[in-house]
Amino acid sequence: MKEKEAHIKQSDWKTLQRVIKLALPFKNLFIFSISFAILSAFVTAVRPMIIQYIIDVNIVQLHGKNLEISVFILLLTIILEFLFKYIFGISTTTLGQNIMLQLRTKLFSHVQNMRLKFFDNTPVGIITTRTINDIEAVNNIFSEGLISIVADVMTLIFVVGFMLYSDYKLALICLTTFPIIIFATYIFKEKVRVSFNDVRDKVAQLNSFVQEHISGMRIVQIFNAQKSEFKKFDTLNHEHYTANDKSVLYYSIFFPVVEIISSLAIAILIWYGAVQVMHGKAEVGVFPAFILYINLAFRPLRMLADKFNTLQMGIIASERVFKLLDREEKIEDKGTLAPVSIKGDIEFQKVWFAYNNEEYVLKDISFSVKAGETLAIVGATGSGKSSTVNILNRFYEINKGKILLDGIDTKSYKLNALRSYMGLVLQDVFLFSGTVMENITLKNPAITEAQVIAASKLVGAHTFIMELPNGYQHNVMERGSTLSVGQRQLISFIRALIYNPQILILDEATSSIDTESENLIQHAIETLVKGRTSIVIAHRLSTIQNADKIMVLEHGEIKELDTHEELLKKEDGYYKKLYEMQFQKEHAH
C-alpha cells in the first residue's frame, strides 16, 4: 500500500513538472505573477503593523501630530494591496488562459490525426471531457492553484515573521493552535481529493452517456426506450450527486472547524495579551494587530486546503490529458512520394487485415483494378466490403501483404497525398453545422463557388439546392437534420467530386436514397467514372451491371471475381443467386 502511494506521489510530481513546463513559452508572465504574489503577500502582512503603530504611538502616546502621515501610509498600503492583488489576479488568469489555449489546440490537433481504430474503441464523451473539462482543470492549476498557493504561503511566512518581530512570546502562544489546523487541513485535503477524483470520473461517464444518447435519440424514441434509458441516466446522475455530496459534507465540517480554531487562538491572545498589558509587558496596540495577524494567518491556511485540491485535481486532469497526448495512435506516415497526379492502377497482393489482433476480416485478398476501370464489390453484411476500401486509403493498417498504387506500395506515399487522390462517399453521411457551401468545400479557400455550382449541376443537385431557403447559404443544422437522406447523400457526393479525385470510392452510396435521387447519382456516376478508377460497394446489384469487374466477398474471402455477364453464367454462383433474389423482389413489388 505504501509503495503504491509512493508511486502515485512520484507520478503526481512528474506530472506537475510537465505542467510547469507548459508555462515556459510564457515564462515572463509566470515570473511576473510570482513577483506580484510576493509583493501582495508582503503588503498584506505590513498592514497590521501600521495599525499597531498608529494605536501605540499616535493615539496612546498622544503623538497626534504624525497621525495624518500614519493614516496616509495605511491608506497607501491598502491601495497598493488592492492593486497588487488585482494585477496578480489578472496575470495568473491570463497565464492560465494562454496555457489552456495552447494545450487545447495541441490536443485537438493530436486527436484529429489519430487513427480511426482509436475512435472505434473510445467513447466520444470521454474525448470531449479530456478536451474541455480536463483542460479547464489544467487552467485552474495556474489561475487558482499553484501560484495562488505560493501567494498564500508567502503571506503566511510574512505574517508569522511580523508576529514574531512584534512580540515573539505572544506570537508563539497564539501559534499553539497551528498544529491542529494543519492536521485538520491535511485530513480535509485527502478526503476532498478522493471525492473530487470520483466526481471527475462521474462527469466523464455522464458526458459519454449524454453525447451517445442525444446522437441516438431517434433510436431511443423509435423503440420507446425512454424509460429504461432514463433509469440508466438517473443512476449515473445520482452517482455524480453522491460524489459531490461527499465533498459538500467535508467542506461543511472543515470551515466551521477552522473558525473554531481561529476563535480559540483569539481567545488565547486576549487571555495572555491582557495579562501582558496589565503587567506593562505589552502595548495596547498589540491586540488589534494580532487579531488581524491571526485572521491573515488562518485565511491562507483555510484556503490552502481548497487550493491544494484544485492543484491535485488539475494534476489528475493533466495526467489524463498527457496520457491522451502520449498515445501513439497515428497511422505511420514515413512516405516521401507525393506526385501531382497518378494513373490509378490498384493492386492488392495477399492482403490480410484484422481490426483486433488476428480476428481477420480480410483473408489473403488479391485483385487488381487498372486505371479507368470500375470494380464493384458485393457480399453479405460483415463480408469485408467496407474494410477493403478503409485499408486502401490507409484509415487502417493491414496485417500482411501489400497494397500497390501505380505499382508502388501505398506506404511509400505521403498520407495526405495518398488520400487526396481518392474521393469517398459513404452510406452514412455526416454533415457539419453550417451552410451547404461550407459542407461541400469544408471551408477550403481554394475551392470557388463556380466550381461548387458546376459539380452540383453535374450531379443534378443544383436545382434542389437553389430551392432551399438561401440556396447554397442554407444552414443544414447539426448532422444535416434539415435535409432528407437523399439530399444529404447528394451533398456528400458533390463534396467528393469537387476535389476531382483520380480514384472514386462509393461505399453503398445509393442504398439509403429514393429512386429519383438514385437516378440522379447513377447518371453522375456513369459520367464521372470515365477516366477514373472506381470502386463501388453496392447493395443494389442493378447499379453495378456495367462495372468492368464484380468481386464477391464472403467471410473476408474472394469467392468470385468476373464481369456481370460471366458471373451470371455460373450455375451455382453466389452472385447469380443474389442477383436472382433481388430481381424477384423488385418484380414482386
- Assign residue 406 a region: left if phi > 0, alpha if psi is -120 to 50, beta otherwise? left
* Short-list 342, 495, 481, 363, CA closest to 421: 342
Pairing of strands 374-379, 533-537: parallel
Check residue 347 and give its pLDDT.
94
Helix (H) or strand (E) holding 507, with range, is strand 503-507
Report whether pLDDT(7) > 50.
no
Instruction: Give the side-chain half-sphere CA count within 13 A for 152.
Output: 19
Tens of pLDDT, residues 222-267: 767 788 888 888 888 888 888 888 778 887 888 888 888 888 888 8
Q: β-strands 408-409, 400-405: how paired?
A: antiparallel
The mean of the pLDDT values for the chain is 82
pLDDT at 512: 56
pLDDT score recorded for residue 520: 67
SS3 state at 534: strand
Topology classification of domain 12-326: ABC transporter transmembrane region fold (1.20.1560)
Q: Are 394 and 331 in contact (CB under 8 A)?
A: yes
- How many whole angstroms separate alpha carbon 492 and alpha carbon 472? 14
Instruction: Return the minimum-mean-pLDDT range out of 49-63, 70-84, 534-548.
Output: 49-63
Q: Cell 483494378 belongs to which residue? A: 369
DSSP calls for 267-296: HHHHHHHHHHHHTTSS-TTHHHHHHHHHHH
Of the listed ranges 212-216, 282-286, 347-351, 515-519, the one predicted with least confidence: 515-519
Overall size of the chain counted in residues: 589
What is the predicted pLDDT for the residue at 584?
Answer: 61
Partners of 413 in beta bridges: 337
Q: Within 10 Å of residue 316's Cβ, how many Cβ atoms? A: 19
**Under 8 Å between Cβ of 459 and 522:** no
In this prediction, residue 577 carries a pLDDT of 84
C-alpha to C-alpha distance for 23 and 361, rounded to whole angstroms = 47
User: What angle, rounded to 10 degrees, do the helices at 286-326 and 226-278 form?
Assistant: 150
Average pLDDT estimate for 38-55? 86
pLDDT band at 86 (very low <50, low <70, confident <90, very high): very high
Highest mean pLDDT among 179-183, 212-216, 469-473, 510-514: 469-473
- Which pLDDT tens digit goes with each residue over 152-165? 888 888 988 888 88
**Distance (Å, rounded) from C-alpha 499 to C-alpha 494?**
9
Q: How confident is the model at residue 135 (pLDDT cuts 50, 70, 90)?
A: confident
Tell me the torsion sign for CA atoms 184, 187, 189, 191. Answer: negative
CATH number, domain 346-588: 3.40.50.300
Residue at 219: amino acid letter: I
What ranges do the domains of the chain cover? Answer: 12-326, 346-588
**Residue-level pLDDT at 528:** 67
Percent of the chain at pLDDT > 90 equals 13
pLDDT digits (tens, 9 = 90+) for 100-129: 889 999 989 888 888 888 887 777 777 887
Asked if 196 and 312 touch (Cβ cutoff 8 Å), the reply is yes
Q: Is the pLDDT of residue 506 over 80?
A: yes
Q: What is the mean pLDDT of residues 52-76?
A: 76
pLDDT at 68: 79
Q: What band does 4 get if pLDDT is binned at 50, 70 and 90? A: very low
Which of 155 and 9 is assigned the larger pLDDT?
A: 155
pLDDT of residue 459: 76
pLDDT of residue 169: 82
pLDDT at 353 over 90: yes
